[in-house]
Amino acid sequence: KNEVEQSPQNLTAQEGEFITINCSYSVGISALHWLQQHPGGGIVSLFMLSSGKKKHGRLIATINIQEKHSSLHITASHPRDSAVYICAVRSGGNEKLTFGTGTRLTIIP
């Protein structure tokens, strides 16, 4: 079993829909990251959080430390949101990231 599990693996939705991507992890963590990878490969950090909730524009990330679960939400989704979204965790005092396998999101106009 991977330390970091994401669901769904693939998600296709219509423009404007509310999107939720889930991440569960099995280890104690110091921080959880949500990353975005567009076709062509560039990775952008969307959020880093260790508790509660963060919001940036149409994106919202939440984390429940007790349940070892995080969600990434996209409101009013747009085709430009189409990308792979990756959850990654830092555990203990380690600097390295352990990654989930990613969720491929496709937003259809």
Contact residues: other proteins, CB under 8 A: 30-31, 33, 35, 41-45, 48, 86, 88, 90, 93-102
Nearest-angstrom CA–CA distance, 106 and 89: 24
- The span from the CA of 59 to the CA of 30, in Å, is 22
Spatial CA neighbour of 108 closest among 80, 73, 84, 70: 80
- 19 vs 46, which CB is nearer to other proteins? 46
Closest distance of CB 82 from other proteins, Å: 19
Shortest Cβ 41–other proteins spacing (Å): 5
Q: How far is the CB of 21 from other proteins (least distance, A)?
A: 15
Nearest to 58 by CA among 25, 16, 104: 16
Which residue lies nearer to other proteins by CB, 9 or 75? Answer: 9
